[in-house]
Structure 1
């Protein structure tokens, strides 16, 4: 196992016959059997690999008054052994029920809370899971319909790095959360019930890093190939951090580049107007622009490796055109067929 499970529990929030939300509390933690281990391993892996996550902290809303401190206070009592895990989870369930009651769109769901350790850090995983209907075959080969937790379509989930929260009082990124397909607003009620305020914006930080790298190589005496090697090195370094769930350490990245003969990047990145933090979460989709050019618009989609610019792909900004030498074989086949048909 990649994680060591401490305790986990599930409560159900559902509408009663009057249309009111109730929280049905489980009285004891889930048994740490094979089913629980498999579920949490899957959730941990799925959550870690999701891109575009937001990051925040227990704090104060800007102009909206103070965030609700009830969740963080209960969590602090649990971590201080003043409150048991079941008691803490029940408090969390009631807080979520109250928050959901403010909205008309909610049908509830299954609130999962899990305390576990991974890579020497303690985490609390919080998710509101939905059930989906599926078919299964019984021992007598009859079909029956069953409801199961929809783990692959997780949309409302957050993970609190308890170690970072308690050791770094200045951190603004110890809570990560899924933004949802429709953006940040979808998860507002979920974050509000925890009193979470958005802090670090990974996309902004990664965009600034990418700009710093481009400016750094542009002002260097490196050859075209060496410049692309520098971009690739940055992308590979940051991708490894993303895949492992670790932050980008700006000093470590600079040391990695220095080992490849590209000195002074740290001084360059911190001495400019890039406003980079010393460490921040990786956003692979943003940094992929170091390796690839891509764009879509007006019914045209273009994507190519950065190393081809100026060789197989020629860009003329004056005429606003791209010249592609060596059309990919599958695309060439489609074009040839269309020309023959016409």
Structure 2
């Protein structure tokens, strides 16, 4: 993860109603192992965070100027430090206008991962930690709390440049800290929501369930393909990368790599070619299976409470929306 540029400023905003004050860093962070470790941890924690949303820039305007400043920086008309100063000043003003009490350290980092370039902007709080001195005495120090990032956004610069029509080249945290706080930071980025990550992931899982049913797969094969889908999607989420339908299709069926992809397109689920994985939705997608006395039952966990109800006291399952093939067999057997 080569870091091209990184800057840290500080915004002091107290809850007593006093104005927000911006303290500028003297220069870019110099190249060091500490800098690279910090930015790597920031990236890892951002990837691991749940509750993200994806979107794209509003048209540049006085209300949403960040994309214009970023374009000038990428065109070489603005160095990174001055870009960060201008952006941090704008963030401070928005914080003041919103009457929000959350200050913090404003981190700006331009880095590369593989062939893709990113810009991450995060507002990070301080926390206390205990360390040991060389004299074996305990010392309380302040550190950046990267484990609890509340406000952050990441812009896929390569995607923005090469595919400006995309609606998912920006991701940002959409946590539980309150809508007002989320909205003010999203306005600072100048981002509008484009892709519904949880919704797209749910649609993908629905398409997969339909695909498994249509293929009439043996239980072991269905379980293997489910594991492949979840493992791949989780790995992409960990990397901060999207699920690519074509790649996923090839992993699900190596002998017929276009089979699942063609099924999705034929049924017109409306899925994007690449979609952001939602880990919370994926975590719920696993199969319950059981065999006993000539009976075999298998279903995805997300159906529990919807099409399938479990009565723990009575030890029974109630099924709704039976597969057509099974329904026809039952009708013939009862006639």
Q: Quick check: TM above 0.5?
A: yes
Within 5 Å, which residues of 2 pair with 1:208-227? Answer: 208-227=203-222
Question: In 1, Cα distance between the equivalents of 2:62 and 2:49?
Answer: 26
Matched, 1:117 2:112: yes
- Asked whether the equivalents of residues 257 and 263 of structure 1 are also in contact (C-alpha less than 8 Å), the reply is no
The 1:312/1:142 distance shift into structure 2, 3 A limit, reads same
Matched, 1:243 2:254: no
Matched, 1:7 2:5: yes
Tell me the equivalent position of 1:76. Answer: 71
Higher mean alpha-carbon deviation, 227-236 vs 306-315, is at 306-315
User: In structure 2, which of residues 289, 293, 296 is the aligned counterpart of residue 307 of structure 1?
Assistant: 289
The 1:219/1:184 distance shift into structure 2, 3 A limit, reads farther
Task: Calculate the aligned-residue CA RMSD, in Å.
Answer: 3.0
Question: In 2, Cα distance between the equivalents of 1:192 and 1:319?
Answer: 43
The CA deviation at 1:308 is: 3.4
Within 5 Å, which residues of 2 pair with 1:1-342? Answer: 3-15=1-13, 19-59=18-58, 68-182=63-177, 185-260=180-255, 264-292=259-287, 306-308=288-290, 311=296, 321-322=311-312
The 1:183/1:238 distance shift into structure 2, 3 A limit, reads farther
Q: TM-score, normalised by structure 2?
A: 0.81
- Asked whether the equivalents of residues 133 and 147 of structure 1 are also in contact (C-alpha less than 8 Å), the reply is yes
The CA deviation at 1:184 is: 5.5
Q: Give the number of aligned pairs.
A: 306
Deviations 1:261-301 (A, max 9, x none): 58632222122242111111112331334324xxxxxxxxx
SS in structure 1 opposite 2:8? strand
- Asked whether the equivalents of residues 250 and 256 of structure 2 are also in contact (C-alpha less than 8 Å), the reply is no
- Asked whether the equivalents of residues 64 and 187 of structure 2 are also in contact (C-alpha less than 8 Å), the reply is no
The CA deviation at 1:319 is: 8.5
- Asked whether the equivalents of residues 250 and 257 of structure 2 are also in contact (C-alpha less than 8 Å), the reply is no
The CA deviation at 1:56 is: 1.2
SS in structure 2 opposite 1:46? helix
The CA deviation at 1:231 is: 2.1
Unpaired stretches in structure 1, ≥5 consecutive residues: 293-305, 326-342
The 1:275/1:138 distance shift into structure 2, 3 A limit, reads same
The CA deviation at 1:164 is: 0.8
The 1:6/1:60 distance shift into structure 2, 3 A limit, reads closer
The 1:202/1:185 distance shift into structure 2, 3 A limit, reads farther
The CA deviation at 1:34 is: 1.9
The 1:283/1:18 distance shift into structure 2, 3 A limit, reads closer
The CA deviation at 1:236 is: 2.3
Question: In 1, Cα distance between the equivalents of 2:102 and 2:62?
Answer: 24
SS in structure 2 opposite 1:307? strand
Q: TM-score, normalised by structure 1?
A: 0.80
Question: In 2, Cα distance between the equivalents of 1:259 and 1:128?
Answer: 44
The 1:116/1:24 distance shift into structure 2, 3 A limit, reads same
- Asked whether the equivalents of residues 233 and 277 of structure 2 are also in contact (C-alpha less than 8 Å), the reply is yes
Deviations 1:40-59 (A, max 9, x none): 11111111222332111112
